[in-house]
Structure 1
């Protein structure tokens, strides 16, 4: 029997069409599925053939006020592995997004950013 693996993570966004487009542009992913979802919402599944991010919207979502690091069950960040860290960062910065917390460490390099939904991403390369 093979080890378990993470198939997807699901989070709420303000505009799933925009978020899906950004994830495709930044990470070279594709839309695997899109359609109606629970509570008359809309979901996009964006990723590769093995895993994806489910992005969901229901009307006008509420803005969170609490820090995810201080909230039980909070999403702290989503880690994405890329081959070319510098090119990926250029794509993200070209959209006016500030990157931060750059580090070179064993075994790779990384940076962080927050998207338009205030979701924190860690982008890492082991190349």
Structure 2
């Protein structure tokens, strides 16, 4: 896997994210979930975490980030292999540290529900030691 496809994926997500109350300039960290229902990428959504504690919902236009997502997954999966059901991309903007986590089978792993809504956003927050 090339570091450039990872950088390109993160750059595409950051450059194309938006949200109604999102601080797209002053955020500190990012958690973005990429969704692959039926084996095809179709959604990127998550949260921005600001230094003062604000958490803002964001999404990236799937058409705008699709090429970067496909290049990234192609660096891990062969053409005949099934894609994951979700990928979690986490970035700490201040340190440059990032993590990409694949979920191959559980499409509910990173789903917010009425029961988990309070812990959900905090659970996705990047925490790098």
TM-score (norm 2): 0.24
Q: Which has the higher strand share?
A: 1
Bigger radius of gyration, 1 or 2? 1
Higher relative contact order (CA 8 A, sep 6+): 2
Q: Which has the higher helix share?
A: 2
TM-score (norm 1): 0.24
